[in-house]
Amino acid sequence: MRYRGITSFGLVAASLLVPVTAFFRMGCPGSIVRERADPIVSPGKASGHVHTISGGSGFGFEMSYEDAINSACTSCSIKEDLSNYWVPSLYFHAKNGSFINVPQSGDGTGHEAGILIYYLQRGGPDNDKLHAFPKGFRMLAGDPSKRSFGNDLASKAVTYACLGAEKPETNNFPPYKCGQMRTQIFFPSCWDGVNLDSPDHKSHMSYPASNDYNNGRCPPTHPVHMVSLFYEVYYDTGVFDGLWDGDKQPFVLSNGDATGYGFHGDFVNGWDVDVLQRAIDTCNSVSGELRDCNAFTLQSNDDANNCKLPRMIDEEIEGVLDALPGCNPVSNGPGVVKPVANCPQPEIGFAESFFTDITVTKQWMYAGCGTDDNGDRTLQGADTRKPDMTVEKCIDFCSGKGFRIAGLEYGNECYCGNSVAEDRKPKAGVLGNCQMKCLGDDGEICGGARALSIYEQCNAGNCQNVEFSGAMNTTTATSSDSQTIGQSKKRMADLSVHKHGVHGSRF
């Protein structure tokens, strides 16, 4: 589905309030995962609240630059950028006290929650040389504990635009209905030149020594001018318009913030640094379009959306919830919020599965998530659509037609064939975008948009499913344990696709 909210630089220029300079804008039409993970603030354990995470599949509860650059895929447009970008998720706080996750623009369901990443080549009044982020660099912007405006540059760097209403931008949630609420955060651009990180993950960076968070000279303490990083996140708040009225908006960030002042963003560098530096030096376009900058290798939105990771914490974070995940009571401030003491720590381990095991009952095995094309189907032997589709019903249909391969798509579609073209096969190390629940059984997965959950007929003794798996080596923490859960073998992207019984595969 097309990534809504991608607009010209005119939308963002008003918020930057500085002369237009060269920049490039990268879409991340899908997230790789949504869960309580944050390798910067909470390495090796569950983070305090849910984040929506985009970028390289090397992301994990602990990760290094080497983990990032060894990603098998990225959910963003530029292949040379395997960085990770994440922000808190947003929830609608209903009148009955429940919480419902708000979709980010990209798919309308919250699975493919997108984000726009801007790299602005702004060298300040001296037009000084701009530098790429070095290997191992990481930082965050914003403060999740804030519940009021601080009148400092870090507070000014978080803004909200109400799309669909002729209203000025604000530093907190707009108190009126918006077709979409665009959240914007500008990262500090001045580096101390020494530290790749700092204890608070901010002190190694500084905003310019001026009254502008987005432009100006760097202070002597942080003399190295970096490329400016800026996020835009589009939340589809308009889908809840009929459920609230008045001037007290009903939205809350996953950290319990009902004001919006506690919005924040995180960044872990996974760029090919030479490519980023070359782009900073040579991309002179003011359009922001990547096609106007010949520094990158680009991929399609479908390929970006295929880059997924399974959730590693077994907890409900979507749908209708009684409470926000983690220990996050709703707060309107104005005082700074402190973390809840003795919050139970969940176990990190495999919690999600994207296939149905029918190796014994039907002697068919899951072969992975492949791709499809509405105009040129991957499986063209036979097809059917059912309002009560399940994995079993599709396999029975294909088997009854004499086919050995079955593919489920978009929750209710079933396609059959005997072979899969090489460019449509599941890719090693890539989970794929098969995350839609079957209409006939919401405990099963039936593909996705242009994504096929592929099952293959197999012989007894040679029926083993493809599993996207990895070892986390974790232990369960007690309610008073604030330390790392075990010694996690870190990253979700230690995950790799293992295809058992390859010699029996027909494609």
Question: Is the domain of 295 the same as that of 383?
Answer: no
| Tokens standing for residue 158 | 């978080």
End-to-end C-alpha distance for the chain, whole angstroms: 28
Confirm whether 502 is domain-assigned: no
Task: Confirm whether 116 is domain-assigned.
Answer: yes
177 and 305 together in one domain? yes
Find the range with the poorest average confidence among 252-256, 352-356, 404-408. Answer: 352-356
Claim to verify: residue 375 and residue 314 sit in the same structural domain = no
Percentage above 70 pLDDT, the chain: 87
pLDDT at 490 over 60: no
- 247, with CB counted inside 10 A (0-12, 13-18, 19+), is exposed
Are 121 and 186 within one domain? Answer: yes
Q: Among 263, 296, 321, identify where a domain stops.
A: 321
pLDDT at 482: 28
Same domain, 182 and 259: yes
Residues 408 and 292 reside in one and the same domain? no
Within 10 Å of residue 86's Cβ, how many Cβ atoms? 28
In DSSP notation, 402-429 reads T-SEEEEETTTEEEEES---GGGSPPTT
Is 348 contained in some domain? no
Mean pLDDT of 341-357: 88
pLDDT at 481 over 60: no
Q: What is the pLDDT of residues 440-451, one digit of tens each?
A: 999 999 999 999
Note whether residue 329 is domain-resident.
no
Total structural domains within the chain: 2
Measured CA angle at 157 (ends 152, 163), to 5 deg:
135
| Closest residue by Cα to residue 188 from 233, 139, 121 | 139
Q: Does 489 reside within a domain?
A: no
Closest-CA residue to 181 (of 223, 259, 238, 220): 238
Q: Is residue 495 part of a domain?
A: no
Report CA Rg, the chain.
Answer: 23
Q: How many CA atoms lie within 13 A of 298 on its CB side?
A: 15
**Among candidate residues 285, 258, 300, 152, the one with its CA nearest the CA of residue 212:** 152
**Average pLDDT in the 473-478 region?**
29
Residue 16 clears pLDDT 90, i.e. is over it: no
How far apart, in whole angstroms, are the C-alpha atoms of residue 122 and residue 95?
45
- Cα(470)–Cα(338) distance, rounded to whole angstroms? 34
Q: What is the pTM of this model?
A: 0.86
Yes or no: say if 249 and 176 are a contact pair by the CB < 8 Å rule: yes
Given a cut of 80, is residue 112 above it in pLDDT? no
Interior angle at CA 284, CA 24 and CA 65, nearest 5: 45
Q: How many helices and strands in the chain, by DSSP H and E?
A: 6, 26
Q: Mean of the pLDDT values across residues 206-233? A: 95
Q: Is the pLDDT of residue 42 over 70?
A: yes
Distances (CA, A) of 260 to 175, 295, 357, 404: 11, 36, 43, 53
Q: Is the pLDDT of residue 455 over 70?
A: yes
Is residue 399 located within the same domain as residue 317?
no
CA 507 to chain CA centroid, Å, is 31
Between CA 168 and CA 180 the distance in angstroms is 14
Q: What burial class does residue 143 get, using C-beta atoms within 10 Å of its C-beta: 0-12 exposed, 13-18 middle, 19+ buried? A: buried
Question: Most confidently modeled of 133-137, 282-286, 314-318, 340-344?
Answer: 133-137
Looking at the structure, do residues 22 and 86 belong to the same domain, yes or no? yes
Are 119 and 263 found together in one domain?
yes
> Residue range 460-486: average pLDDT?
49
Q: How long a stretch of residues is the chain?
A: 507
Does residue 396 fall inside a structural domain?
A: yes
**222's tokens:** 């942080």
Please state, rounded to an integer, the average pLDDT across all residues of the chain.
Answer: 87
Same domain, 272 and 369: no
Look at residue 494 and tell me if it is in a domain.
Answer: no
Segments forming the whole domain that contains residue 199: 9-321
Task: Give me the pLDDT at residue 198, please.
Answer: 98
Average pLDDT over every residue of 245-272: 95
435 and 311 both lie in a single domain: no
Q: Are residues 143 and 276 in the same domain?
A: yes
SS3 274: helix
For residues 349-358, give the mean pLDDT. Answer: 84
Q: pLDDT tens digits, residue range 275-320? A: 999 999 999 999 999 999 989 999 998 899 899 999 999 999 999 9
